[in-house]
Amino acid sequence: MRKISIDERPDWRATAEREGFSFHTIDGERYWDERGYYQFSEAQVSRDLEAPTQELHAMCLDAVERIVDSEALMTRLAIPPAFFDLVRRSWKEGHPHLYGRFDFSYDGHGPAKLIEANYDTPTSLYEAAAFQLIWLEQQIERGVLPAHASQFNTLAEDLVQAFGTFERESPFYFSAIAGSVEDRGTTDFLRKMAGHVGISTRHIDVEDIGLNGDGRFVDLEGRPIPRLFKLHAWEHIFHEDFGQAIAGCDTQFVEPAWKALISNKGILPLLWEWHEGHPNLLPAFLDEDPRRPVPKGWVRKPYFSREGANVDIRTVDDQRVFEDGPYDDAPYILQGFAPLPKFGDSYTLIGSWVIGDLASGIGIREDDTLITKDSSRFLPHVVLD
């Protein structure tokens, strides 16, 4: 694994605009950054990223199986008791799931370490599945990269496969919070993949979803929503007005409610408890006293936090790196600190995707600090021996 500088395609911004990748630049700063790329060997990808992703996914599903039968464990994961049954039922009835992303600290040597699992509302999907693929094809076409260069990236193909398991008769609604261009980029890309198998799709903003007198969720025209992909976290839904209507409705939610168990940093101490010493896991414990300072070599994280918010790192040599945020109202965990590797001036995080039940590809984020945030840059990768 190394980082290689490369000339940007002179026309990449026009390409991004044409392809509908409108958030390539955020607040004037590069989000998509193709001034460099990461190169991996085949062995690094298949042995160190693909295989562990597949294994961790299986471990997470096994954890869900154990948790849903235990009210004590659901309580420990801060699931409100009113939703125990919804979560349990969604798992027991086998409600289908579409996607998730593990974030790894990995530098090309030794085992990748699982930082967290984004298993409910992961974003950066379009960039990983589509725009880095287009980048690679064009750089090969233009003779900049060799013809046998490839990527660990079957995301689009696997999404089409996954959508193929859904029935095609009724419309599939895709929802995101109004106003977020990035979230809309994710749902619009998923709609395109669903369209490949003949599913008819519609967009609705999360805030526009209606609840009618019969307890059914409806669109803006009052038509029932049979299936809803929601880029909106379950831990939020549990505390919103319509949350309590879900148990009695006839809408199929994707991701299903059981994803709330994995997309919850409380799962990390449980994984450690059940698989202590696993090479891809970091030691993790419930933080009994979040008011005391973080011990050296540990990281404090809230159960629910996104884009690095409220993450508090204390390095082995006593440096503190802290990202403030709004997620200070849930329990915390302590996780062993596995510093992100530094390439040049940037800290690098690998997002490893699971589509359906398959390890499907990676996307790489870089930040100037040890905490990857929503402003972190996205860089393409190449697999080449």
Partner 1 sequence: MRRSSVKLVLASSLPLALTACSAPEETYTVSKRSNYTTVQACVDDKMPVDVCSDAYMEALADHRRVAPTYGDKAACEADFVPDYCQVTSDGRYMPRLGGFELAVSGEVSQSQVDAARAQVESSGQAVSGGSNFNGLLTGLLLGQMMSGGSRQYYSQPVYQYRDSRGDYRTTTLGEQIDQGKRFERSDQAQQSGGSYSSYYSGSSSGGSSYRSKTSTRSSVSSSISRGGFGSQATARSGWGGKSSGGFSFGG
Residues of this chain, 298-317, that bind partner 1 according to CB under 8 A: 306-307, 309
* Among the residue ranges 104-112, 169-177, 265-273, 311-319, the one whose residues contact partner 1 (CB under 8 A): 169-177
What single-letter amino acid sits at 174? Answer: F
CA nearest neighbour of 339 among 380, 311, 309, 358: 311
Out of 77, 115, 237, 371, point to the residue binding partner 1 (CB under 8 A): 237
Q: From the CB of 56, what's the least distance to partner 1, in Å?
A: 18
> Per CB under 8 A, does 122 bind partner 1?
yes
Mask of contacts with partner 1, 3-22, x by CB under 8 A? ---------------xxx--
> Per CB under 8 A, does 286 bind partner 1?
no
> Per CB under 8 A, does 245 bind partner 1?
yes
Q: From the CB of 141, what's the least distance to partner 1, in Å?
A: 10
Q: From the CB of 65, what's the least distance to partner 1, in Å?
A: 25
Site for partner 1 in 51-110 (CB under 8 A): none
Rounded CA-CA distance 304/264 in Å is 6
Out of 108, 171, 226, 336, point to the residue binding partner 1 (CB under 8 A): 171
Rounded CA-CA distance 254/162 in Å is 12
> Per CB under 8 A, does 358 bind partner 1?
no
Task: Supply the DSSP string of 24-74, one letter for each residue.
Answer: SEETTEESB--SEEEEE-HHIIIIIIIHHHHHHHHHHHHHHHHHTT-HHHH
Judge whether 146 and 137 are in contact, CB under 8 Å: no
Phi first, then psi: what are they for 59, rounded to 5°?
Answer: -65, -35
Site for partner 1 in 132-151 (CB under 8 A): 133-134, 136-137, 150-151
> Per CB under 8 A, does 220 bind partner 1?
yes
CA nearest neighbour of 188 among 225, 154, 231, 219: 231
Rg (CA), the chain: 21
Out of 10, 27, 72, 93, point to the residue binding partner 1 (CB under 8 A): 27
CA dihedral over 201, 203, 207, 210, signed as positive or negative = negative
> Per CB under 8 A, does 264 bind partner 1?
no
* Among the residue ranges 6-14, 41-49, 269-277, 284-292, the one whose residues contact partner 1 (CB under 8 A): 41-49
Out of 115, 206, 281, 333, point to the residue binding partner 1 (CB under 8 A): 206
Out of 60, 79, 225, 231, point to the residue binding partner 1 (CB under 8 A): 231
Site for partner 1 in 317-356 (CB under 8 A): 324-327
Out of 62, 65, 69, 208, point to the residue binding partner 1 (CB under 8 A): 208
> Per CB under 8 A, does 155 bind partner 1?
yes
Q: Looking up tokens 């974030």, which residue turns up? A: 103
Query: What's the residue count for the chain?
Result: 385
CB atoms within 10 A of CB 293: 10
Site for partner 1 in 176-205 (CB under 8 A): 176-183, 186, 188-189, 192-193, 195-198, 200, 202-203, 205
Q: From the CB of 88, what's the least distance to partner 1, in Å?
A: 22
Q: Which residues of 210-248 are buried (b: 16+ CB within 10 A; e: fewer)?
A: eeeeeebbbbeeeebbbbbbbbbbbbebbeeeebeebee
Q: What SS3 state is found at 6?
A: coil
